Structure 1
Amino acid sequence: MLISPIPRDRIADAASRTAAQGHLARFRSDESGSLMIFSLMLFVAMLFAAGLAIDFMRYESTRAQLQHTMDRAVLAAASLEQKQDPEAVVRDYFEKAGLGDYVGAVKIEEEKSSGTASFRKVRAVAGATVEPIFLNLMEDVFRPMRWSDEALGPEHRFDSMPILAVSTAEEGISDLEISMVLDLSGSMGDPSASGDTKIRELRRAAKDFVYHMQCNPNATRGSGEACEVKYGKVSISVIPYAEQVSVGPDLLGEYNVTNEHNTSFCVNFASSDFTETGLSTTSLLQRTGHFDPWYGRTSTPDEFPCKVESSRWIRPLEDEYTELYDVIDALEPRGNTSIDLGMKWGTVLLDPGTRGVVDNLIAKPVAEGSTETVIDAVFEGRPYDFGQARNMKAVILMTDGENREQHYLKPGYRAGPSEVWHYNEPDSGKSVLDVYSVYNADRDQYRWVDEDGRDYDRYDVWHESVFVGEEECSGWGASRTCVGPSGEPDQMTYPEVWAKFTTRWYDQFYWLDNPAGEDGTAVKNARLQSVCDAAKNEDILVYTIGFEVAKDSYEEQVMRNCATTVNHFFRADGMNLSDVFGAIASSINQLRLTE
C-alpha cells in the first residue's frame, strides 16, 4: 500500500496548534503574577486613601489653627483687665498669626461701672477655604463615570473645603449676696495669739473684708483708692450670734412670731427647720423667752440668752461698707455659742423665699418720717433665685469654739399666770416692801417670801391666803402716821416673773419644776450639719473659719464638715485672721468672674 506523505504545511499547522494548546495549558496552570492586578487595584485605593488623609490633615490643621487663634483672641478681648479696644485685640491676634484676611464680624457687648468695665462679651467669626489636591483627582477619575455631577449634584464637587470658626467669650462680675455669720460669745473677749483680744482682731479682719467686697478688691483699706465695685452689686448681711441670734424688730416683724413679750427678738427653731435654707413667714415661730437661766437666785436677771442690745441685731442686706464699719465696731462679746442658729439665719437671708421680706423692708422707713429705709431699694428682687445666671451666694461662718448649751423656756412657762403673786407691804411707815407669795398646788397654800425667796415671816409657815397686809402706824398724837396695804395682791404672769427673777430663784421652791430646758452640743452639731448640707445642696458657697480652735479637734472637724469643701475651711489665729478673711475675699472675687 502506497502511503502518501503529509504535506509540510499541515505538519507546521499541527505543530503550531499543539504549541498554542501547550501555551494555553501552561497559562491556565501558571499562577505566577495572578495578584498583580489585585495589587495594582489595592495600590490605587491606598493612594486615594492616603490622598484623602493628606487633604483632611491639611483641612484639620487649618481649622485648628483658625479656631485656636479665635479662642485666644476672644478670651483676651473679653478680659476686664484688657485696656485696648476689644475688636482691635481680636484682629491683632489674627494679623500676628498670619490669618488677618480670614476675620469676619466681631461683636462686642459691654457694661461699665464708674468708667470701668464690669461685663464684656465678645463674639467673633472667621472663615477660610482649603483647596484639596487628591479630592480633585478623585473627581477627575469619577467624572467619566458621570457619578460626580449626576449622582451627587454639582454642589458636591470637591473644588474647596470651607472652614468656619466661631467663638464667644464673656467675663463679668456676678451680683453677689454674702452672709457674714460672726461669733460674739464671751470667749471672743479673751486674748488672742497676737496679744490683742479676739474681738478686736475680728473687727479689723471683718472691716477689711467688707471693704474688699464692696469697694476695692485690689487696694488696702484706708489707702484712699477709688472704689471699683459697682454700687448695688454686693449685698452683705451681718449675723452676730452667741447663745441666740437677735433678729431685731424690723426683720422679725416680717415673720409670724408668738407674742409673749416684746423685750427681745429671738426665736427657737425645731430640728426640722435646719433641713432647709429658708424660713416660712406664715408658720408660727416660737419667740425665745426673756429669762435668765445663768445667774443665781438672789441676782437680778441680766444674762439673757437673747440679748437686747441693738448692736447685736441682724443687719440684712447692707449696701455701704462704711456703714458696716460702724456695725462691726459696735460688736461686743458675751454669752454662749450657737453656731447652728447663726448659720440658719445666714442661709435665710440668701434664700429666694425671703424676697418678700426684703421688698417689705425696702418700703419701710428706719424711723417715722425718714426717707431712709431699712434696706436700700438697689437690692429690690433679692435674694435671687438659686442658680440664676450671674449671681453668687456665699456664707462666711466664723467661730472660736464649739456649740454649747442653748437654753429655752419649757412649754407652760412662757406665758399666762404664774404661781407667784406680788404685793406691796408697808415697812414701818418709811417705805413699801415688795412681798411675794408662791403657790403650792399640792397643798393649796401659799408661802410668803421676799425678793430673795426667804420666808417673809421668818418661819416655815404656810398660809391659806395669798397675802393680807396690815396697817402700819408710827408716832404719837398729831404726828402719828399710818400706811396701809398698797393695793391688792397681783398674780404675776410668767414674762413678769422672768423680768424680775432668774429661773434659779423660781426653781429654789421644791414644789415647782425647773422652767428651763436646753439643747446640748450633740443636738446643735447635728442641726448645724443639716443646715450646712442644705446650703451646699443649693450651691451656696460655705466658707468656715476656726479662730484659734485646737488643731485636729472635734470642733475643727465640725467646721470642716460644714464647709463647701475642705479647701473652704480655714484655721486662723490673731496673727493671721485678716489674711484669712482676705484670702476668702480674693477667692470670692475670682469666682465672681464668669468666663
Structure 2
Amino acid sequence: MLLALAVVPIFASVGLAVDSSMGYLLRTRMSKALDTAGLAAGRLALNANAEDIARQYFDANFEASGGSVELTSFNFELTPDRKFVTLTAEAVAPTIFMRVFGRDTMTVSSRTVIRRQTTGMELALVLDNTGSMWGTAFDTMQQAAFDLVDILYGEDTVVDNLWVSLVPYTATVNIGSGHSGWLAAGDRVNLSPGDYSTAGWKGCVEARATPLDTDDTPPSGGAFTSYFYASTTRTQDNNWPAILPELWRRNDGRGPNLGCGPAITSLTPSRTTIDAAIANMGAWHRGGTTGNLGLSWGWRTISPRWRGLWGGETPATHPLDYGTPFMDKVVVILTDGQNQFYDHDSGALPRSDYTAYGRLEALGVTSLSQGRAILDGRMASTCSAMKAEGIRIYTITFGASPDSTAQALFRNCASTPAMYRHAPTNADLSDAFRAIGGELANLRIVE
C-alpha cells in the first residue's frame, strides 16, 4: 500500500516534467517563429500588408504538430512611430501524463518585440526626372521616395549619423547655380553671363571628357562646363530668344536651360530638407536619359574626395572616409527606361536634342543605338568603381519601358542580384522602395 501511495507523486512528478519539457519545446518553436515574423514585418513597417506578411512568416515557421496544437491567438502591434513591432501568440496543446490528473491541455504563449533602428549611413537617392516619368508614374516615384525617407526617419526630423542626398537626373544634371566656382575660368557663366538672358544659368553642367564623366574626380582635377542649349532655327528643337521658364518642363519650352531639371540636394541630416527636395522634383522633357551621369553625381555626393566642397547643410567634415566605423555609403538609383539620346525633331539633323554630351554626333556616332551603348558602357564602369570602394548600390527599373538590356545593366550594377528590383507597376515600385527602406533599417530583437 505504501509503495502504491508513493508511485502516485512519482508518476505526477515525471508527468509534469515530461509535459513541461514538451511545453518548453513548443514555446521555443513559437518564439523562433515570432522572431522571424517580427523581423519580416519590421522590414515592411510601412506596407499596409505588414500584418499579413508577419502572419504568413509565422505560419510557415510554426508547425502545429500534425494538428494536435491549436493556435488560439496571434496579435500584431506597430507603434505610431513605426519603431517597434510587437507580436504575441498563444496556443493550446494536449498533455500526455497530466491528463491522468485532470489536466488535458496546457496553454503556451510567447511574445517578441522588434526595434527598427537606422544604421549610420550616407545615402544618395538618384532618381529619373525625365519626361517619360510625367503623370502618375512620377507621382508614384515621389510617394515611394517619401515612404523610404519615412522608414528611415520615423517620426524624427533628424537621426544620428543619417545623411541623405538627392540627385535628380535627366539628359544632364543640375549641380546648383551656387557652384559656379566648379566651372572653368573661361566658362560663359564667368565671362558672359548675359548669354543666359534674364533667366540666368540654372545650374546644369556638361559631362567631362571620359573617364572623368565616370568617376568621382573633384573640380580641382577637372573643371566643369556649363550646360547651354543654344538657339536653333527650328521651333521643334529650341528656337529662342523667347525664354519661357514656366514651360521648361514641357516639350514646347525654350531657352538655354531647356531640359535642365532640379538641382542636387547634397548630404543633409534634415528630413524636412530632403522631403522638400523630393516634392520639388518634376518630369523634364527633352534630351533623353543619362542615368550614367546621375549615378556619377550620386557618387560625388558621398565621395570623401568631395569633402568640404558642397556647402549648404553639408558640413566640411562630410562626406566621410570610406570604411568609417558604423557608417555605410549607399546609393539607390531608379530609371523608367534606358540610357538614350532623344530627338524631338523626329529625324531631322542634328540627330538628337542637346544633352550633357552635346548632340549625339559629339560622341562620334550617328545612330541612337550606338549612343546608348556608349552611355551603358560608361555606367557599367561607374558601377564597378563604386562597388570597389565598398558602396552599396540598389537599382530599380520601373514600368514597361526598360527592355532586357536595361534590366541587365541595372541588375549587374547592383551590389548583389538581390539588390536589383524590377517594378513593372506603380504598386511594385512602392513595394520596392519600402523593401529597400526596411533593409537599410537595422532590426533588433529587444524582447
Fold shared per TM-score above 0.5? yes
Identify the match of residue 526 of structure 1 among 371, 377, 385. Answer: 377
Are the aligned partners of 1:181 and 1:239 in contact in 2 as well (CA < 8 Å)? yes
Alignment match, 1:587:
439
Instruction: Please give the per-residue CA displacement for 1:424-465, whole angstroms capped at 9, x wherever unaligned.
Output: xxxxxxxxxxxxxxxxxxxxxxxxxxxxxxxxxxxxxxxxxx
In the TM superposition, what is the alpha-carbon distance from 1:525 to its structure 2 partner? 0.5
Matched, 1:249 2:188: no
Identify the match of residue 185 of structure 1 among 103, 109, 130. Answer: 130
Matched, 1:576 2:428: yes
**Match of 1:402, SS?**
coil
Superposed, 1:416-565 pairs within 5 Å as 517-519=361-363, 520-549=371-400, 553-565=404-416
Alignment match, 1:96:
none
Query: What is the alpha-carbon distance in structure 1 between the residues aligned to residue 415 and residue 377 of structure 2?
Result: 17
Instruction: Structure 1 unaligned segments of length 5 or more: list them.
Output: 1-80, 82-115, 117-170, 191-196, 217-225, 362-373, 408-503, 508-513
**Match of 1:349, SS?**
helix
How many residues in Structure 1 have an aligned counterpart in Structure 2?
292
**Match of 1:288, SS?**
coil
**Match of 1:382, SS?**
coil
- The one-letter code matched in structure 1 to 2:313 is I
Superposed, 1:129-140 pairs within 5 Å as none
In the TM superposition, what is the alpha-carbon distance from 1:558 to its structure 2 partner? 1.1
Identify the match of residue 264 of structure 1 among 193, 202, 213. Answer: 202
Alignment match, 2:145:
206
Instruction: Structure 2 unaligned segments of length 5 or more: list them.
Output: 1-41, 43-82, 84-115, 194-200, 242-252, 352-357, 364-370
Alignment match, 1:383:
319
Are the aligned partners of 1:399 and 1:547 in contact in 2 as well (CA < 8 Å)? yes
The alpha-carbon distance between structure 1 residues 515 and 382, as it changes in their structure 2 partners (threshold 3 A), is closer
Alignment match, 1:332:
282
Instruction: Please give the per-residue CA displacement for 1:533-570, whole angstroms capped at 9, x wherever unaligned.
Output: 11100010000000114576111111111111111101
Identify the match of residue 342 of structure 1 among 294, 302, 315. Answer: 294
- The one-letter code matched in structure 1 to 2:142 is R
Are the aligned partners of 1:244 and 1:406 in contact in 2 as well (CA < 8 Å)? no
The alpha-carbon distance between structure 1 residues 528 and 295, as it changes in their structure 2 partners (threshold 3 A), is farther
Query: What is the alpha-carbon distance in structure 2 between the residues aligned to residue 337 and residue 515 of structure 1?
Result: 13
Alignment match, 2:164:
236
Alignment match, 2:367:
none
Alignment match, 2:224:
285
Query: What is the alpha-carbon distance in structure 1 between the residues aligned to residue 440 and residue 274 of structure 2?
Result: 19
**Match of 1:312, SS?**
coil
The alpha-carbon distance between structure 1 residues 566 and 305, as it changes in their structure 2 partners (threshold 3 A), is farther
Matched, 1:392 2:244: no
**Match of 1:394, SS?**
strand
Query: What is the alpha-carbon distance in structure 1 between the residues aligned to residue 185 and residue 417 of structure 2?
Result: 37
Cα RMSD (Å): 3.7
Identify the match of residue 270 of structure 2 among 317, 320, 323. Answer: 320
The alpha-carbon distance between structure 1 residues 380 and 298, as it changes in their structure 2 partners (threshold 3 A), is closer
In the TM superposition, what is the alpha-carbon distance from 1:276 to its structure 2 partner? 3.0
Identify the match of residue 240 of structure 2 among 281, 300, 311. Answer: 300
- The one-letter code matched in structure 2 to 1:344 is S
Query: What is the alpha-carbon distance in structure 2 between the residues aligned to residue 239 and residue 173 of structure 1?
Result: 21
- The one-letter code matched in structure 1 to 2:164 is I
Are the aligned partners of 1:181 and 1:241 in contact in 2 as well (CA < 8 Å)? yes
Instruction: Please give the per-residue CA displacement for 1:335-368, whole angstroms capped at 9, x wherever unaligned.
Output: 321101100100011110100204xx1xxxxxxx
Matched, 1:403 2:339: yes
**Match of 1:332, SS?**
coil
Are the aligned partners of 2:124 and 2:331 in contact in 1 as well (CA < 8 Å)? yes
Are the aligned partners of 1:246 and 1:313 in contact in 2 as well (CA < 8 Å)? yes
Query: What is the alpha-carbon distance in structure 2 between the residues aligned to residue 299 and residue 172 of structure 1?
Result: 53
Give the share of equivalent positions with the same residue, in percent.
25
Identify the match of residue 309 of structure 2 among 354, 357, 382. Answer: 357
- The one-letter code matched in structure 2 to 1:268 is A
- The one-letter code matched in structure 2 to 1:264 is K
The alpha-carbon distance between structure 1 residues 257 and 383, as it changes in their structure 2 partners (threshold 3 A), is farther
Query: What is the alpha-carbon distance in structure 2 between the residues aligned to residue 297 and residue 176 of structure 1?
Result: 43
Query: What is the alpha-carbon distance in structure 1 between the residues aligned to residue 138 and residue 207 of structure 2?
Result: 26
The alpha-carbon distance between structure 1 residues 182 and 259, as it changes in their structure 2 partners (threshold 3 A), is same
Are the aligned partners of 1:173 and 1:390 in contact in 2 as well (CA < 8 Å)? no
Stretches of 4+ aligned residues off by more than 6 angstroms: 504-507
- Bigger RCO (CA 8 Å, 6+ sep): 2
The alpha-carbon distance between structure 1 residues 375 and 298, as it changes in their structure 2 partners (threshold 3 A), is closer
Query: What is the alpha-carbon distance in structure 2 between the residues aligned to residue 186 and residue 584 of structure 1?
Result: 25
Query: What is the alpha-carbon distance in structure 2 between the residues aligned to residue 531 and residue 172 of structure 1?
Result: 30
The alpha-carbon distance between structure 1 residues 306 and 183, as it changes in their structure 2 partners (threshold 3 A), is farther
Query: What is the alpha-carbon distance in structure 2 between the residues aligned to residue 337 and residue 198 of structure 1?
Result: 16
In the TM superposition, what is the alpha-carbon distance from 1:278 to its structure 2 partner? 3.6
- The one-letter code matched in structure 2 to 1:246 is N
Query: What is the alpha-carbon distance in structure 1 between the residues aligned to residue 268 and residue 144 of structure 2?
Result: 18
Query: What is the alpha-carbon distance in structure 2 between the residues aligned to residue 517 and residue 308 of structure 1?
Result: 19
Query: What is the alpha-carbon distance in structure 1 between the residues aligned to residue 360 and residue 324 of structure 2?
Result: 44
- The one-letter code matched in structure 1 to 2:307 is R
- The one-letter code matched in structure 1 to 2:218 is L
Query: What is the alpha-carbon distance in structure 2 between the residues aligned to residue 561 and residue 505 of structure 1?
Result: 35
- The one-letter code matched in structure 2 to 1:346 is G
Are the aligned partners of 1:174 and 1:390 in contact in 2 as well (CA < 8 Å)? yes
Are the aligned partners of 1:392 and 1:592 in contact in 2 as well (CA < 8 Å)? no
The alpha-carbon distance between structure 1 residues 584 and 296, as it changes in their structure 2 partners (threshold 3 A), is same
Alignment match, 2:102:
none
Report the more deviating stretch, 541-550 or 346-355: 541-550
Query: What is the alpha-carbon distance in structure 2 between the residues aligned to residue 547 and residue 585 of structure 1?
Result: 17
- The one-letter code matched in structure 1 to 2:145 is A
Alignment match, 2:72:
none
Instruction: Please give the per-residue CA displacement for 1:183-241, whole angstroms capped at 9, x wherever unaligned.
Output: 01111015xxxxxx10100110011111222x22xxxxxxxxx43x8535211111111
- The one-letter code matched in structure 1 to 2:294 is G
Q: Which has the larger radius of gyration?
A: 1
